[in-house]
Amino acid sequence: MACVKVRVEAFRAAAHAAGHGNAAEIAAAMRIDRSTVSRVVGGLLRPGNQFIAAALTAFAVPFDDLFEVEK
C-alpha cells in the first residue's frame, strides 16, 4: 500500500522561507496543532489530508516539493 511521507528538509526550508522558524509558528501558519507538526516532521505520524492541504496552502509550493509517495 502506498503512503505519503513528508520531505523533512524541504518542509523545513519551505517553512523558513515563509518566515516560520519553529513548530509553533509553522502550526499557526497551517492552522493545525503544534504537536501534529512535530509528530509528522519527526516521522511519528503520517501526514493526513488536512496536514497536506494546510502545508500546500501555507507555503504555496507544489505537492512534490514537500511530500513523496512511497509504494
- Provide the whole-model pTM: 0.91
pLDDT tens digits along 1-41: 889 999 999 999 999 999 998 989 999 999 999 999 999 99
State the sign of the Cα–Cα–Cα–Cα dihedral 2, 68, 15, 43.
positive
Q: Give dist(CA 56, CA 71) in Å, integer.
A: 22
Both ends of the chain: CA-CA distance in Å? 6
pLDDT at 48 over 90: yes
Contacts of 28 by beta carbon, 8 Å cutoff, 6+ apart: 20
Q: How many residues does the chain have?
A: 71
Q: Give dist(CA 34, CA 26) in Å, integer.
A: 8
pLDDT score at 1:
82
- Name the architecture of domain 3-66: Orthogonal Bundle (1.10)
Domain borders along the chain are 3-66
pLDDT score at 67:
97
